[in-house]
Amino acid sequence: MSQLLRVALVDPNDATREAAKQLLLGMDTVWLEAETSRYEFFADIIGQTTPDISMVALDANPEKAIALLQDLAESSPECALLAMSSSTDGQLILQAMRAGAREFLTVPLVIEELLGALERIRCQKSGGEGGGKRACQTIAVVGATGGAGTTSIAVNIGSVLASESDNMVALVDLDLAIGVADVFLDAIPDYTIVDVAQNVSRLDFSLLKRSLTKHASGLYLLPRPVQLQDVELVTPDSLQRVIGLLKATFTHLILDLSKAFGPVDLKAMELADDILLVTQLDLPGLRNVVRLLTSLESVEGVLEKVKVVVNRAGLEEGQISLKKARDTIGRDIFWQIPNNYRTMVEVRNNGVPLIEQAPKAAITQSFVEFTNVLTGRDPQGEGLESTNARSRWLAFWQKNKATK
């Protein structure tokens, strides 16, 4: 999670102050340090509480508010100033910026604009774009063929991450027509991605969380639509807004994509930090990997995020060798997940993730190590392309297999 921003707010207008307050209270990366309706008290409050950001509403008395900004810029230079107004008058904006405001937001506040302003201030305080810790890692999982096991991988990566108390993890099922993430988690959701997408402009962060289904593992789920005719209601634009909100609250997002590679899937890949392209060691899967990698070259910024993951490795018959697979696709395999059909069928039918159902199984340990490498908790790991990693995995798998 990125550093917590401590915010103080002044707005004599009760309605707009309450609206801003509710937005801030719903954000896990923000702490509302203080609020007041009086301009004349605010400088003293800032001096006593020393917040990271001061939000100053201008509309009640622009002259007093501009003077307050000037005062704060001189008395508390370490505190970033954010001005707010329902007016878009260029002269007022210029006055606010000259008085010391770093950001100017239009009232009523738009969540995406507020998030953007806070993130820019966060980056400035962290010493630039790369200075702060990433607020949320977004991982997209997509299959090279049907039945590649993408939902199993998405659910189990998410569950491993959610088992860490410092993490807040959400899984979004973007296989909008036939997604089954809810089945893997034995969940009966009250809301779906359609409900969130259609109401995203009215949601605050508390309502957003209540719209998700929380599994016993700690993993939050936003499932696919119930009705097939609702699929078209989720657009790339609405998905971008939903993901923007989720990124502000969660440390990790897992996006389980469809096999259609349609506009929504492509938008999800653009928004992701990492893309797991899942295949098996068979000819159809590997040929599709080559085809998809070639096609994704035309999508700016996507190809370099792709990591090829082999699922169900270790089948004794019908699999192409790892060397031949690398030669075929022209790149290394990022990770191999061992085959364990019996265990995977059991956890799927029970609606319980591996980390809970079979924590000591070889396949579970592979997921744990995979997740650690993927999220940077094991920066020395190189998947199963590493000799040491391969040896550890094979030894564990063979020991586990011998006991069955």
Q: Which pLDDT value is given to residue 382?
A: 42
Handedness of CA 318, 323, 328, 330 (dihedral sign): positive
SS3 133: coil
pLDDT band at 272 (very low <50, low <70, confident <90, very high): very high
What are the strands, taking DSSP E only, across 252-345?
A: 252-257, 274-279, 306-313, 335-338
What beta strand segments (E) does 215-349 contain? 220-222, 252-257, 274-279, 306-313, 335-338
Q: What is the pLDDT of residue 319?
A: 83
- Please state the rounded mean pLDDT for residues 154-170: 95
Segments making up each domain of the chain, as ranges: 5-125, 137-402
Residue 15 makes CB contacts below 8 A (sequence gap 6+) with: none
Q: What's at 193, amino acid-wise?
A: I
For 214-270, the pLDDT digits (tens) are 999 999 999 999 999 999 999 998 998 888 888 877 899 999 999 999 999 999 999
Domain 137-402 fold: Rossmann fold (3.40.50)
pLDDT for the residue 2: 45
Cα–Cα distance measured from residue 90 to residue 209, given in angstroms and rounded to the nearest whole number: 37
Report the alpha-carbon distance of residue 89 to residue 192 in Å, rounded: 40
Inter-residue contact 134 to 273 (CB < 8 Å): yes
> Tens digit of pLDDT for each residue in 129-143?
444 445 689 999 999
Residue 128 has pLDDT above 70, yes or no: no
Measured over the CA atoms of residue 332, residue 335, residue 340 and residue 341, the dihedral's sign is: negative
Q: Which two tokens stand for residue 63?
A: 């002259």
pLDDT in the model for residue 396: 45
**Which amino acid is residue 390, in one-letter code?**
R
Q: How far is CA 317 from CA 88, 281, 321, in A?
A: 68, 11, 11
Question: What pLDDT does 115 receive?
Answer: 87
Q: Taking all residues of the chain, what is their mean pLDDT, rounded to a whole number? A: 88
- Rounded to 5 degrees, φ, ψ at 338 are -65, 155
pLDDT tens column, 323-373: 999 999 999 999 999 999 899 999 999 999 999 999 999 999 999 999 999
d(CA 22, CA 49): 20
pLDDT given at position 387: 36
- Distance, CA of 306 to CA of 296 (rounded, Å): 9
**Nearest Cα to Cα of residue 254 among 168, 183, 369, 132:** 168
Give the per-residue pLDDT at 389. 45
**Predicted TM-score (pTM) above 0.75:** no
More confident residue, 295 or 119: 295
In the chain, what percentage of residues exceed pLDDT 90? Answer: 71
pLDDT at 296: 95
Same fold yes or no, 5-125 and 137-402: yes
Please state the CATH superfamily assignment of the domain spanning residues 5-125 in this structure: Response regulator (3.40.50.2300)
